[in-house]
């Protein structure tokens, strides 16, 4: 039986709901990287190990344990006092909490997640951290429930590779950003020579591998969506030809409507 895009989304939702419950109930160590990497990658390549000791010290233990990312977007995204930040796929809230601290009480940090269990964990973590300028929203990253031009910075941590409609995500980021707004994204990115089938051979979809864009696809997709100064920098290898990467870009300061990026649809191979 073929796997549909909705099947993939539900598998991702179920997997991360389980991760949140494991942290909340203390039944598993999802911060080790096993929840994102499916047991296929070294723990140091995913999760809380990618945050320095000082940052981890600012966080409730549950927020650090719930980190399933492949990088640290708060370390590369330029944030200023009073700005509005949006974290796509905010999970247990680690990057929202750190962003809220960076933009200060006159700023605001939004977290967007489709999983009730993660949203509940994130709100609890933010309250425990004493964060007053964070708002967590339920929704999917392909349809952000915020007005156009309402955000200064968009961040995301190993979530865009999980989307079943990446062109929609890239255009949504452009829509919600103000003119001149910025991206600071950590994601798993493939080397350009790997086909979608070869990416699927290296890991599962819910393990953040099979659905990854290539470096060239990322750059072309963001430029088509209305971004400039796009860079994709590999930071560490997570599988053969697959890397944790920092993706940065700035929304073009024009009123021209973005073109819909042309990206191959999500592969269903290796999803389960």
Q: Which residue shows structure tokens 């990618």?
A: 50
DSSP 8-state class, residue 162: G
Q: Which two tokens stand for residue 62?
A: 């549950």
Would you state the pLDDT for residue 230?
97
Secondary structure (3-state) at 269: coil
Sign of CA dihedral 159, 165, 167, 172: negative
**Domain extent listing, the chain:** 5-251
What's the CATH architecture for 5-251?
3-Layer(aba) Sandwich (3.40)
* Structure tokens belonging to residue 178: 């103000």
**Per-residue pLDDT, 37:** 46
What is the residue-level pLDDT of the chain in tens, covering all 272 positions?
Answer: 456 777 777 777 787 667 767 766 665 544 444 444 444 444 444 444 555 444 545 555 554 444 556 677 888 888 999 999 999 999 889 899 999 999 999 999 999 999 999 899 999 999 999 999 999 999 999 999 999 999 999 999 989 998 989 999 999 999 999 999 999 999 999 999 999 999 988 887 777 787 899 999 999 999 999 999 999 999 999 899 999 999 999 998 764 555 555 555 444 333 33
Residues 175, 9: Cα–Cα separation, whole Å: 23
The DSSP code for 235 is E
d(CA 182, CA 151): 9
pLDDT (0 to 100) of residue 88? 97
b/e map 49-78, b = 16+ CB within 10 Å? bbbeeebeeebbebbbbbbbbbbbbbebbe
DSSP secondary structure letters along 18-78: HHHHHHHHT---GGGSHHHHTTSS-GGGSGGGGS-HHHHHTS-HHHHHT---SS-HHHHS-
Q: Give the E-state strand segments of 150-191 in sequence order.
A: 151-157, 177-190
Tell me the C-alpha distance between 179 and 189, whole Å.
Answer: 26
The string of DSSP codes covering 15-26 is HHHHHHHHHHHT
Please report the pLDDT score of residue 58 as a whole number.
Answer: 57
- Return the pLDDT at 103: 97
Please, what is the Cα angle at 109 between 27 and 187, to 5 degrees? 60
Structure tokens of 191? 């080397």
What per-residue confidence (pLDDT) applies to 4?
A: 76
Q: Are residues 266 and 1 in contact, defined by beta-carbon separation less than 8 angstroms?
A: no
Residue 170: phi and psi, rounded to 5, are -65, -40
């Amino acid at each position: 039986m073929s796997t549909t895009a909705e099947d993939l989304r539900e598998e991702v939702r179920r997997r991360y709901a389980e991760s949140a419950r494991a942290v909340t109930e203390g039944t598993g160590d999802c911060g080790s990287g096993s929840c994102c990497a499916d047991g296929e990658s070294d723990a140091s390549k995913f999760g809380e190990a990618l945050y320095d000791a000082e940052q981890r010290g600012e966080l409730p233990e549950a927020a650090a344990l719930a980190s399933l990312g492949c990088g640290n977007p708060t370390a590369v995204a330029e944030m200023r006092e009073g700005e509005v930040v949006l974290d796509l796929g905010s999970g247990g809230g680690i990057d929202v909490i750190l962003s809220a601290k960076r933009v200060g009480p006159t700023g605001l940090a939004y977290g967007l997640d489709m999983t009730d269990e993660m949203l509940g964990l994130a709100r609890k973590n933010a309250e425990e951290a004493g964060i007053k300028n964070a708002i967590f929203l339920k929704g999917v990253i392909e349809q952000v429930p915020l007005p156009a031009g309402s955000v200064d910075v968009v961040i995301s941590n190993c979530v865009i590779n999980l989307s079943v409609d990446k062109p929609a995500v890239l255009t949504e980021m452009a829509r919600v950003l103000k003119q001149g707004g910025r991206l600071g994204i950590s994601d798993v990115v493939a080397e350009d020579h790997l086909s979608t089938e070869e990416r699927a051979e290296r890991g599962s979809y819910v393990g953040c591998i099979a659905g990854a864009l290539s470096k060239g696809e990322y750059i072309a997709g963001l430029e088509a969506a209305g971004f400039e100064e796009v860079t994709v920098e590999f930071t560490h290898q997570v599988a053969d030809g697959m890397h944790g990467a920092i993706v940065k870009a700035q929304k073009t300061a024009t009123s021209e409507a973005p073109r819909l990026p042309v990206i191959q649809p999500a592969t269903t191979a290796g999803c389960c």
